[in-house]
Amino acid sequence: MRWKILLNATMAVAISCVPAKAGPAPEISGKYALNINAICENGQIQTELAIADFNHRSAMSQITGIIIISGTIGSSAGLEQFKGPNTKQPFSNTATTVTITDTTYNAVYGPITNGIAQSLIFTGISVLDNKCALSGTAIRQ
C-alpha cells in the first residue's frame, strides 16, 4: 500500500515539473540588482555585484558595479577586487533567453508586472574573455 502512495506522490511531482509553454517575451526595463558568478576554462573564478540599467526602447544596458576575480585554481595569485565594469552593452530577450552583447543565456523570468520582468535568472557559456560558465540573478529595483 505504501508503494501506491509513493507512486502517486512521484507522479504528482513529475507532472508539476513539466515546463510551461513559452509565452511572449517580457520586457527587461529599468534598474536591476545583478549578481553574477562565473567559472572559466582557465580555472579563474569571478563574482560580480552590479546595478544594470536596461533601456528596452534602445536595447542598451548600462552596467556598473564591483568584480572580484581569483587567480587560476592552483596558482599563487590571490583575489583581486576592483570597480567595474562600467559598460554599455546591447541586449535582447525572448521568452526563454536573454542575449547580452554576443552571448545568449537561457533565462527564466520571475513575476511579470505590466509586461516587465521583476526578476530573472540566467545561465550559459560566455563567449567573451576566458570562455566562462556563467550564472546570474537580476532583481528589479
For the whole model, what pTM was predicted?
0.77
Instruction: Read off the pLDDT of residues 28-49 as tens digits, 9 standing for 90 and up.
Output: 999 999 999 999 888 888 899 9
3-state percent helix, strand, coil for the chain, nearest multiple of 5: 10, 55, 35
Give pLDDT, residue 11: 42
* Domains defined along the chain, listed by start: 23-140 (2.40.160)
Q: What DSSP designation does 19 have? A: P
How confident is the model at residue 45, as a pLDDT?
Answer: 87
pLDDT digits (tens, 9 = 90+) for 76-102: 567 777 777 678 999 999 999 999 988
